[in-house]
Amino acid sequence: MTACPDQELLLGGVVDGELDAANTAMVEAHVARCDGCREELERLQAIRNLLATDGVRQAAPDALVRRIAALPELSEQAPRRHALPSWLVPGAAGALAASLALATITPLTSASVVDEQLVSSHVRSLQPGHLTDVQTTSQHIVKPWFNGRIDFAPPVPELATQGFPLAGGRLDSIEGKTVAAIVYRRRLHTVNLYVWPGDGPVRRRTEEGFAIDQWNDGGLHFAAVSDIGPGELDEFKAAFRASAHAATPR
């Protein structure tokens, strides 16, 4: 059984961690239903594990490390997006050693791990059957559904009149913690609002083409993720906070 031709390079990218969160989620969804690609992914992972074992992996010579470090493409001014992924470079042991040396010389950008997990979770939720555990437009069903499943009570306002109808909710995991995911719609788009106890970073950013807005309120941390524009996500945040505050007992 062979892998799908259009997935072969992507499978290598998954094994080497070279794909962004959105493409990784798409490949994982394909592998879940394709035996050929699943077998190929397992084979590539086994090869990678073998090459990483003591006695097989070879460190790059100092001279090669110095030559790589001197390449103009690796200067601080050079955009990293022009660098070829290591899994596209032909050659086995030599390419692996070079890529390992490159990884030690040029650290990855400081993208937030939480942001990457939020985007990855958002993309996975868009796969068929993954968006909601409870599907309804009523806050009186979604809010009680969380009772007993998590140890906090997230606000679940209905925002249809503000242009963001409620679609349901589910449980998800961010940083190994079980979180509430409240799902809203914006025309044909989805807004995932992740909620968990405590404080987190208050910021807005774009990660892999998705807008993320995070804030703290009432002892809870909120993170809204969507492919709508940042301006519309600002509208969602304002509508959500106003409705949630209005519903809070004084």
Q: What is the mean pLDDT of residues 68-84?
A: 55
Q: What is the mean pLDDT of residues 43-66?
A: 76
Across 96-117, average pLDDT: 53
Arithmetic mean of pLDDT over the chain: 81
Whole-number pLDDT of residue 105:
38
**Residue 105 near residue 135 (C-beta atoms within 8 A):** no
> Which has more confidence, 17 or 184?
184
Given this model, what pLDDT does residue 85 score? 43
Instruction: Give the whole-angstrom CA distance, residue 41 versus residue 53.
Output: 19
* Between residues 23 and 126, the one the model is more confident about: 126
Does residue 129 carry a pLDDT above 70? yes
> What is the rounded CA–CA span in Å between residue 102 and residue 58?
14
Say whether domain 113-247 belongs to CATH 3.30.200.100.
Answer: yes
68, two tokens: 């790589």
**pLDDT(57) > 80:** no
Domain boundaries defined on the chain = 5-105, 113-247
Quick one: tokens of 114?
Answer: 């939480």
Q: Is the pLDDT of residue 27 over 70?
A: yes
Q: If you search the block for the tokens 């010389």, which residue do you land on?
A: 105
Question: Would you say residue 41 has pLDDT above 80?
Answer: yes
Q: Rounded to an integer, what distance in angstroms lies between the CA atom of residue 78 and that of residue 189?
A: 36
Per-residue confidence (pLDDT) for residue 154, from 0 to 100:
96
Segment 187-202 shows an average pLDDT of 94
Helix 8-16, helix 21-33: angle, nearest 10: 120
pLDDT average, residue stretch 171-184: 93
pLDDT of 53 above 90: no
pLDDT > 80? residue 230:
yes
Percentage, residues of the chain above pLDDT 70: 79
pLDDT band at residue 151, thresholds of 50, 70 and 90? Answer: very high
Taking residues 135-146, what's their average pLDDT?
94
The mean pLDDT value for 118-126 works out to 92
